[in-house]
Amino acid sequence: MVENIGVLVIFFVLIVIAMIFYFAFQSASIEEKQGELKIRNALEITSKVSMLPELQCRKNNVAEAHCFDALKIDSAKLLFAQTQNEDYYFQQMGFSTIKVKWIYPYNDEKQIYHKTMPEYTNNDTSRIPISLYDPITNSYDYGILEVNVYS
Amino acid sequence: MEKIKKSKKGQMELLGIAIVIVIILVGVMFFFLFAITGENTSIAPSVIRTQIGANTINTLLKTTTLCKKLTISELITDCVDGPNLECSGKNSCEYVKSQISYILENTLTNWGIDYQFDILKQTNTAGNEFTPIGEMDIGSACTSQEHFEQLLPTQISYAKASLNLCN
C-alpha cells in the first residue's frame, strides 16, 4: 500500500515538474506573440498611412504607390488635428506619432500626427522609404515615413 | 514460497516505475523536440525587411538629384552607356555613386541593416547576362541576403540596379 502511494507521489511530482516547464515555455511564447502583434500593428498603420489619399501623390489622377505629395503634408496635418475628424483618424492611426523625414537632397522633418497613449509602456517604430513629390518643381525627394506606435 | 511472491511483487512495482519514467522521458523528449525545432512563425520582421528593400530601390531610382534635375535612374543609364554627363566636376558614375551612398548610409546603415548595392550591365544583347560595374559597388558583400532588383533600359542595352539586404 505504502509502496503504491510512493509510486503515485513520484508520478504526480514528475507531472507537476513537467507542467511547470510547459507553462514557463508557454508564457515566453505568449510574450513573443504579443511582441509580434505590436510590430504588426505598427506595420499596418504604416501601410495605411502610406496609402492615405490625403497624402498620396497623383499624376494624371493616378495614385502613385509609396509617394507623398509634399504640398499636401501641411494641410493633411491640419486635417488630422481638427476636432471633427479626430475620431476618424484615431480609428486609422490609433495612439501613434507619425513623421515624414526628408533624407535627400536636404534634411528636414515634419510631424503629421501625434496622439500619445496615457502611461504607455511600450513604443514600436516602423519606417519605410517613400518618395516626396514636389509638384511645383516636378521633382522627387527621398524620404522616410516613420510611425511610432504606443501600447 | 512467500519470499518468491514478495520478490515478484517488488519486480512488478519496479517495472511499473520504469514504465512511468519511460513515458515521462518520451514526453520530455517530444516537448524539447518541438520547442527546439518548432518553426518560428514570426513573419513580421521578414515583411518589414521586404518592404524596406522594395521601397528603397523603387524610391531611390525615382529620386531627383541636384545634377541637371536628373533622376538617379537616368544617371545610372548614362553611367552604363558612357559616362557622358558631368555633375559637380565628377562623371555621372562617380556622382551617382556618391549620392546613392549618402542616401543608403542615412537610411539602411543608420537602421543597422547591412547591404550591398550594385549596378549591373548587360554583357550580351541577345541573352540575359549581366555583370556588375565594379566601380559602382556600394556596401559590403553578404553571405546570405534578400535580393531586390530593377531593370533599367538604357540607349544601348539594359542595366540592372541590384540591392541585397544581408541577413
Same domain, B62 and B104: yes
Same domain, B34 and B73: no
Is the Cβ–Cβ distance between A135 and A68 less than 8 Å? no
Q: Tell me the pTM.
A: 0.79
Same domain, B16 and B51: no
Same domain, B49 and B111: yes
d(CA B31, CA A26): 11
pLDDT tens digits, one per residue of A83-113: 999 999 999 999 999 999 999 899 999 999 9
Same domain, B25 and B66: no
pLDDT of B127 = 66
CA atoms within 13 A on the CB side of A131: 27
Quote the domain boundaries for residue A31.
2-150
Closest CA to A90 of A116, A51, A125: A116
Residue B74 burial (CB < 10 Å; 0-12/13-18/19+)? Answer: buried
Is the Cβ–Cβ distance between B133 and B156 less than 8 Å? no
Same domain, B89 and B48: yes
Radius of gyration in angstroms for the set of CA atoms belonging to chain B, rounded to a whole number? 31
Test mutation, B17, B19, B51, B58, chain A, max A CBs within 10 A: B51
C-alpha cell belonging to residue A119: 502611461
pLDDT of B39 = 57
* Confidence grade of residue B36 (pLDDT, cut at 50, 70, 90): low
Quote the domain boundaries for residue B60.
44-166
Whether pLDDT at A9 is above 80: yes
pLDDT tens digits, one per residue of B49-82: 999 999 999 999 999 999 999 999 999 999 998 8
pLDDT of A139 = 95
Whether pLDDT at A3 is above 90: no
Q: A3, B13: Cβ pair inside 8 Å? A: yes
Q: What proportion of chain A, given as a percentage, has pLDDT over 90?
A: 55
* Number of structural domains found in chain A: 1
* Number of structural domains found in chain B: 2
pLDDT of B37 = 62
Same domain, B10 and B76: no
Same domain, B48 and B125: yes
Q: B17, A10: Cβ pair inside 8 Å? A: yes
d(CA B122, CA A133): 31
pLDDT of B117 = 93
Same domain, B22 and B95: no
Same domain, B90 and B135: yes
Give contacts of B59 with chain A, Cβ < 8 Å.
Answer: 66, 129-131, 140, 142-143
List all residues 6 or more positions away from A97 whose beta carbon is below 8 Å from its beta carbon: A111, A113, A114, A115, A116, A147, A148, A150
